[in-house]
Structures are given as structure tokens and as C-alpha cells.
Amino acid sequence: MKQILLPNDSALLQHRFTFGVATAAFQIEGAAALREPCIWDTFCAEPGRIRDGSDGLVACDHFHRWRDDLALIASLGVDAYRFSIAWGRVIRADGSVNAEGIAFYLALLDELQTRNIKAYVTLYHWDLPQYLQDKGGWLNRETAYRFAEYADIVSRAFGDRVYSYATLNEPFCSAYLGYEAGIHAPGVQNRQAGRQAAHHLLLAHGLAMPILRRNCPQALTGIVLNFSPCFAATTSAADQQAAWLADQYHNHWYLQPLLEGCYPDLTGHLASTDLPQMLAGDLDIIAQPLDFLGVNYYTRTVFTARDDGWFSDVKPSQPPLTDMGWEIYPQGLTEILVQLQQRYTLPPIYITENGAAMVDTLQEGSINDVARLEYYQQHLLATDAAIRAGVDVRGYFAWSLLDNFEWAEGYAKRFGIVYVDYHTQQRTVKASGLALQQLWSNRNKKA
Ligand code: IFM
């Protein structure tokens, strides 16, 4: 069997380094009738939104199979499990608390504690309750205050069971893909809306942070952002400028307010009418101290200049590509971490997502996903290289534990290290999962 190998002196093999697997509520839980509808339920019901016409009503049926799934996670030899809470499973439209929803997560958290697996909880992984979207969603400032209340309720209920809280997962996707490009729920296509949604998401983060710290002083609290290093398609000044603008617009727009309390200055690029509306003091609320920054990395992006002064991304055509059509570019992980380290004073970093969609075939009961296994091998070495270059990376989470609902791509794209047969819900650990299991289980966990 092919293995994943790291140098013997790698920091990733030390007992302090945390390895885990990651999932998100809407992508795996199912049991939609037991929660409030969310924006993704609505989006899935709109014809043409999801490539295979699917939805999240059943997904991996994790809500009913969580005990087996936790046993599976434990068998992989991980230190931690990163998962998200479905807001609409714990808070009803009338504002009341859904005790059954809370009980579901409490049982999961207790079982993780019993199995000595640290719980890395994300409060918002894109599944905004539809009752809040009906009032404007992330375009309504009030949603940020509702998020802070939700964070308060959940963190009080979960007590000391949670090792780490991330407020948001990838606000870029919620804001840009959801409100500006319109390819994710709620499907709005408007530049100002994208900037406004981003501001309210960051405000929600900033309002929730002190609440989490007060309710769970022992937990690590932070946020998860996705990063893609931006490259110019050519050496022309226009393309170089396009790559710079894309970097400011997609990467620094989220990190700079968090770490420095201001948005990138895009005067001359972004019309004043497209800037987010904000109140005095908002940026101070947003720039809360962070115990960690979660970094999600999948690929790099190449940009070319548009005639109107903006940028377009160039779809990669040369292999190696994943099944998403994303270039496999492991050195980009080292590069972005080192760039961020040089640019900012960073808190400790966790790679909270990294992985690849590949075409998997189940043959005689096994999946020999060598390309995914090699992807992990290369990206773990890239993480190792970043640490050797001085970046304080404390953990790494594989995306994803299970094949699951890949948003606008439906179930056609498989990111799991565990294969899911959606007809039988049978789980089969892929070769990549077995190789990671071997790596994780063979570490010397003694101090
Ligand atoms: O599946 C998603 C996840 O929900 C957020 N980060 C990127 C993954 C792959 O597209």
C-alpha cells in the first residue's frame, strides 16, 4: 500500500501538532425536517442552481449515523474533529431554542470527549436560516446581532466540551459567491451587496468573539478564511495589476480588517457606491484578538486584466488538475503562509481545510485514490516547508472526512478520504484515508 511519508524531524510528527478531519453540517447531516430551512434548502429548490439537481435533505445522513461516524473518525487516529453547527437546528424562527438540536450536538461532543478527540466547532458554515434571509440575510445588519445571540446560546450550552471555536468558515464564499457572484446561496449578483455582506459577516464575528471568550475562557477562539495566492497570467503591467487587485479583493479584504482594523484601500478601483456601509466603531469590533487563524487552502488562482480595470481568473487547462478543475499547486500553500507571515503579525495558524475532489471508483470494495493520496503527501510537505520557514502552523485538517454535498456541484464531486455510497450510506475508507490513518496512528504522541 502506498504511504504518506514525512521527514523524521518534521514538526508535523511532534506530539504538539494537531491532525484532524473536517466536515460541515449542511454537507453531511441530512435530517432537514428536524431543523429550520436554510438558504441552501431554498437555493437547491431553484431549478438550475445545483449541477446535479440534488439537495441537502438527506446528505450523508450523519444526523442518524453520527455514532458510527465518530467510531470511524476515532479509527483514523486523529487528534481532532472539525465540524459545524447548523444554526437552524438550534434556534427556531421564533427565537426559541430547539432542545433536540442542542441535545444532538451535546451527545456528539460528549462522545468526542470520551474518545479523547478535540472538538473544533465552526459556528457558521454557510447555512443561514431562511427566516433570517427573509429579513435580508447578511445584507441586514441585524443578522450580525442574531449571530452573536446564537453564539451565546450555543457556547453556554456546550460549556467546556469545545476545544476550539471558529466563528465563521470562509466569509469570502458566503459574501462573494453568495451575494456578489451569485453562484452560491442566496444567489444575489451585486458588487455592493458582496461588500456589504462581507462587512456584516465580519461584524458578526467581532460581536461573537468576546461572548465566546467570556462563556468559554478555556477554548481557543478564532476564524477560518480561505486563501488562494494570486498570480498574473503574463508579465504585462496590466495583468500584474489585476493579480494585485484580486489579492486585495479576495484575500486581504477579509484578513486586514481582522488583524489591522481596516479594509484594503481600493480607491480608484472600487466605486464609493460599492463600499460597505458601516457605523463608527465597527472596525474596532471586528479587529478582536484571535487565538488562531484557520487557513483553508486548495489551489492558486491566475488572473488577467479586463478592459474595465477589473480582473478575470484564467481557468487552468494543463494537468495536474483535481476533479473540480483546480490546479494542483502545493507550493502555493507554503507561499501564501510565508507571504501572510511577512505581511502581518499573525496569530498561530491551523490549516483547517485542505484536500481534493477526484474521480473515485469503487472496485472490489476498495478505492485506490492514488492522486488524492499524492495530493495529501505534497500538501503536508508544503505545510512542513512553511513551518521550517518560520510560520507557526499548529495543526492540519483533511477536507473532508466523508464524500458529501459539494454545494453548487451537488454530490458529483467527491472530497472524502472516506467514500460514501449514497444509496446505501455505506462508508469505505479510501487508500488516501488508509495512508493518513497510518501516518496519524504511527506518530509518537508522548511529550
Ligand atoms: O466543500 C467545501 C467546504 O464546505 C468549504 N471549503 C471548500 C470545500 C471544497 O470546495
Mutate to test the pocket of ligand 1, among 21, 406, 413, 420 (most ligand atoms within 8 A of CB): 406
3-state SS assignment for residue 419:
strand
Instruction: Indicate which residue's Cα is closest to atom 4 of ligand 1.
Output: 24
CA distance 186 to 192: 15
Catalytic residue among 29, 36, 170, 180: 170
3-state SS assignment for residue 339:
helix
Handedness of CA 339, 18, 212, 56 (dihedral sign): positive
At 28, which helix (H) or strand (E)?
A: helix 25-28
3-state SS assignment for residue 196:
helix
Ligand 1 center–CA 9 separation, angstroms = 31
Residue-level pLDDT at 354? 99
Residue numbers in the chain where pLDDT is lower than 70: 444-447
Ligand 1 atom with minimal separation from the 357 CA: 9
Beta bridge partners of 231: 302
Which set of grid coordinates corresponds to residue 434? Answer: 488508509
Residue 212 lies in a domain: yes
Ligand 1 center–CA 170 separation, angstroms = 9
Mutate to test the pocket of ligand 1, among 26, 84, 415, 417 (most ligand atoms within 8 A of CB): 415
Residue 96 lies in a domain: yes
Contact 125, 26 (CB under 8 A): yes
Residue 95: which domain range? 11-446
Residue 156 lies in a domain: yes
Task: Select from 408, 313, 312 the least CA-distant residue to 357.
Answer: 408
Ligand 1 center–CA 10 separation, angstroms = 27
- Is 353 assigned a catalytic role? yes
Ligand 1 atom with minimal separation from the 27 CA: 4
Ligand 1 atom with minimal separation from the 355 CA: 9
Pocket of ligand 1 (CB under 6 A): 24, 27, 170, 296, 353, 399, 406, 415
Residue-level pLDDT at 177? 98
Question: If you search the block for the grid coordinates 468573539, which residue do you land on?
Answer: 209
Residue 265 lies in a domain: yes
Residue-level pLDDT at 447? 52
Mutate to test the pocket of ligand 1, among 322, 353, 401, 403 (most ligand atoms within 8 A of CB): 353
Number of domains in the chain: 1
| Crossing angle of the two packed helices 62-75 and 99-114, in degrees rounded to 10 | 10
Ligand 1 atom with minimal separation from the 404 CA: 1
CATH number at residue 311: 3.20.20.80
Question: If you search the block for the grid coordinates 488562482, which residue do you land on?
Answer: 301
3-state SS assignment for residue 426:
strand
Residue 2 lies in a domain: no
CA distance 287 to 262: 9
Ligand 1 center–CA 169 separation, angstroms = 9
Task: Select from 390, 412, 441 the least CA-distant residue to 325.
Answer: 412
Residue-level pLDDT at 3? 98
CA distance 263 to 80: 33
Residue-level pLDDT at 445? 62
Task: Select from 34, 36, 56 the least CA-distant residue to 45.
Answer: 56
- Is 180 assigned a catalytic role? no
Ligand 1 atom with minimal separation from the 407 CA: 1
Q: Flag whether the pTM goes above 0.95.
A: yes
Which set of grid coordinates corresponds to residue 282? Answer: 465597527
Residue-level pLDDT at 446? 54
Ligand 1 center–CA 406 separation, angstroms = 7
Residue 301 lies in a domain: yes
Catalytic residue among 29, 180, 335, 353: 353
Alpha helices in 216-281 (DSSP H): 237-246, 253-260
3-state DSSP helix/strand/coil % of the chain, to nearest 5: 45, 15, 40
Task: Select from 89, 92, 81 the least CA-distant residue to 105.
Answer: 89
Residue 4 lies in a domain: no
286-304 tens-digit pLDDT: 999 999 999 999 999 999 9
Residue 165 lies in a domain: yes
Task: Select from 340, 335, 339 the least CA-distant residue to 290.
Answer: 340
Ligand 1 center–CA 241 separation, angstroms = 28
Q: Please, what's the b/e burial string for 3-12 (b: 16 or more CB within 10 A of its CB; e: otherwise)? A: ebebeeebbb
Residue-level pLDDT at 1? 83
